Structure 1
Amino acid sequence: MIVSLIGYRGCGKSSLAPLIADRLNWQAVDSDRLIEEQAGCTIADIFNDHGEAEFRKREAEILEQLYAEDQVVIATGGGAILNSQTCELMRQSGPVFWLSAPTEELIRRLTQDSSTTNTRPALTDLKFEEEIRTVLKRRIPVYQAVSDFEVLTMNREITDLAEEILQQIQGWTPKMRTAVKEHTS
């Protein structure tokens, strides 16, 4: 089984994955960091030098390799859900957790994160805050469709978030997804 953490930038995926993996005695992988390690540069550099399409290609390849593993908690990139094949791999491999926060909270977090401007590429030609609002508007329905569980991250301790996710993982089976999705559709 693989646990997938999805959500927009700044929602806590990279911070939560190691905590959850440690408790499960599994491996934690941040797909964006793995891409950067293999490329020898930041994601922003990949976007600038090769374009978003090249980054998305690399992201899909890395995630395909990761989803062939077992007992891994994957912190996916915020846009990993844009690839339908990746979404299918996520859902076939185990529970998918959407880490969410209100738009204004994500803006606050990203504004305060000094690595944002150096490592995170612009996704549009819009100003920073407008880009976040616009991209979220497009992605939220996909996060909802792909995920089994939504975990609200605002005003919560990271250890509490990890505990909530661990409780959901216990006893999870793919059959649960069918039952949940049928009753919420």
Structure 2
Amino acid sequence: MGPIFLIGYRCTGKTSTGKYLADLLKKRFLDTDLVLESTYGTTIAQMVARYGWSYFRAKETETLMRLDLSDAPVIATGGGIILAEQNRTFLTKNGVVVYLYATASVLTDRIRKDENSTEQRPDLTCDGLALETEKMLEIRTPLYHSLACISINTEEYTPKAAAHQIKDELYPGSPIEIS
């Protein structure tokens, strides 16, 4: 099996679940946002503030296209990576896509509680957080669904339990356990 790409909106648990899943499957874990920040020596928020969203989205695509997929890693992607058709094609052609989701109200609460949100994740619109989340989900949810081989409601699963659920769906009957 190739890479496993985790997609979904902010704070759906892509990074946390991805780390557990990588450990569970004894695979390398990557987070495209962290790779991008490391590559360009800046945070996403700083990049967007300095150069704008279009520039960031272009760098996000470059980052995705340059990932080393040779050892079939588990990859947490940025929430908006699915906006570019080129990225959607890349994800579906190069691996298994797992969609992690939750309701707008739960995501809004998680974003407010997430220490990284303010500093590293810039606002997407000028709307308040709740309205922004609802608007973005309205646009993105059909794209997430169209790519997903597996969908996991992260309101129902902790990141560790979500990782086990993904493993069970990808490898039914497998005895692999987190140590």
Residue 176 of structure 1 corresponds to none
Question: Structure 2: where are the runs of 5+ without partners?
Answer: 173-179
Residue 151 of structure 1 corresponds to 152
Residues 166-185 of structure 1: pairs in structure 2 closer than 5 A:
166-170=167-171
Residue 95 of structure 1 corresponds to 96
Residue 106 of structure 2 corresponds to 105
Tell me, yes or no, if the aligned pair for 2:3 and 2:69 is still in contact at 8 Å: no
- 2:19 is the counterpart of 1:18: yes
Residue 82 of structure 1 corresponds to 83
Give the ranges of 4+ consecutive aligned residues of structure 1 lying more than 6 Å apart after TM superposition. Answer: none
Alignment coverage as a number of residue pairs: 171
Tell me, yes or no, if the aligned pair for 1:67 and 1:90 is still in contact at 8 Å: no
State the Cα distance separating 1:83 from its structure 2 match: 1.1
Tell me, yes or no, if the aligned pair for 2:36 and 2:59 is still in contact at 8 Å: yes
Identity of aligned residues (%): 33
Tell me, yes or no, if the aligned pair for 1:80 and 1:86 is still in contact at 8 Å: yes
State the Cα distance separating 1:51 from its structure 2 match: 0.6
State the Cα distance separating 1:69 from its structure 2 match: 3.2
Query: RCO greater where, 1 or 2, for CA within 8 Å and sep 6 or more?
Result: 2
Question: Structure 1: where are the runs of 5+ without partners?
Answer: 172-185
Aligned-CA RMSD value: 1.3
Q: Following the alignment from structure 2 to structure 1, what is the Cα–Cα distance between the partners of residues 18 and 160?
A: 11
TM-score by length of 2: 0.91
State the Cα distance separating 1:24 from its structure 2 match: 1.5
State the Cα distance separating 1:106 from its structure 2 match: 0.3
State the Cα distance separating 1:73 from its structure 2 match: 0.6
2:36 is aligned with what amino acid?
I
CA deviation profile, 1:120-165 (whole Å, cap 9, x unmatched):
0111121121111111110001001111111000042222110000
